[in-house]
Amino acid sequence: MVAPSHLKALQALELAARKGSLREAAEALAITPAAVGQRIRALEDYLGVTLLERGRSGIRPTASLAAALPHLHHAFSGLEAAARELDLQRGHEIHIAATSDLAELWLAPRLARFREANPATLFCINGEGDVPMRLGRVDCEISYGAVREDGLADTLFHDYVLPVCSPSNLARTAALPAAGRLEGFPLLHLDFYRNDPAGLSWSRWIAAAGAARSAPERGMRFQRITAALGAVRADAGIALCGLALIADDVEEGRMKLPYPVASGLWGEHAFVARYRADAAARPHVARFRAWLSEESAETARWLGETAGGTAAGRSREPRIG
């Protein structure tokens, strides 16, 4: 019998070999390319052979894999067909792959409202929830990236990024002149926003706001927003973070804004939800999609009122005084 970990590794291997790309395999599995690579390497270590090699046109199977590859294709085609048949028996399950920070900081606190109105709907979000993760594609993928407009993708909201700190650090810096408040103070950097064309970085914010800070690129770096916010709460420094994700913390005083709200920058990228075509036609998924659109529209409205503008006006430079 194939162990579950080996089954996942074989699935990643078959997809990567068929598509010729770790990235495309990762998109199909709703995981990162690094995770696909780790699964394949674990299988290679177990077997003691190299299964994939990189060529000019992408990755390709080695001689060790070539003979087994047709069997893998046939096996996973059969599993996908079985999954489609079993999918009809899933009732009111919704399987979601979401950016972890959005799922934890924005979606989870709101989901109780949907559950209250739709108690029969069961969720699996990023492999955890009311029902176990299933083989095959998810019903909804929520990511942070370029806006994609089509019948299966909904733009949820652009976030408004601005400095955030702990109450203790606000007290330490509040008496200092705004322009020089950051000098010598630890800056926390979020790689989450690295690819946003709006340039949501400390270097951009400091230059645009007219603040003074030597070596603004230095400081601790974080992949996850939740990890950076943990450092903020521990008084480790000041971070740039999307306001929509910390709204409750700011409102309840657990986090503070060391500069006026007008100092923020709108992201050009947005949180986008994409639905599988056959899943979107199901009534319970359609209800969730409508609810998610309403919740995100409320967030976008609140951000616009709070920031004094909208994402469409994101070219406005930040103001610290």
Residue (of 229, 180, 245) closest to 206 by Cα position: 180
Domain boundaries, the chain: 4-87, 93-156+273-299, 160-268+307-313
Q: Which fold has domain 160-268+307-313?
A: D-Maltodextrin-Binding Protein; domain 2 (3.40.190)
What is the percentage of the chain residues whose pLDDT exceeds 90? 55
pTM value is 0.71
The structure tokens listed for 277 are: 């075509």
CB-based burial label for 77 (10 Å; 0-12, 13-18, 19+): exposed
Task: Tell me the average pLDDT of the chain.
Answer: 88
On whether the CB atoms of residues 292 and 156 are closer than 8 A, the answer is yes
CB 256 within 8 A of CB 165: yes
Instruction: Determine the pLDDT at residue 136.
Output: 72
Does pLDDT of 36 surpass 70?
yes
What average pLDDT does the segment 10-32 reach? 84
Do 93-156+273-299 and 160-268+307-313 have matching folds? yes
Q: How far apart are CA 83 and CA 105, in angstroms?
A: 31
Which pLDDT belongs to residue 321? Answer: 54
Q: Quick: pLDDT tens for 77-134.
A: 777 766 655 555 456 899 999 999 999 999 999 999 999 999 999 999 999 998 888 7
Domain 93-156+273-299 of CATH type 3.40.190.10: yes
Q: Identify the band that residue 315 occupies on the pLDDT scale cut at 50, 70 and 90.
A: very low
Q: What is the CATH number of domain 4-87?
A: 1.10.10.10
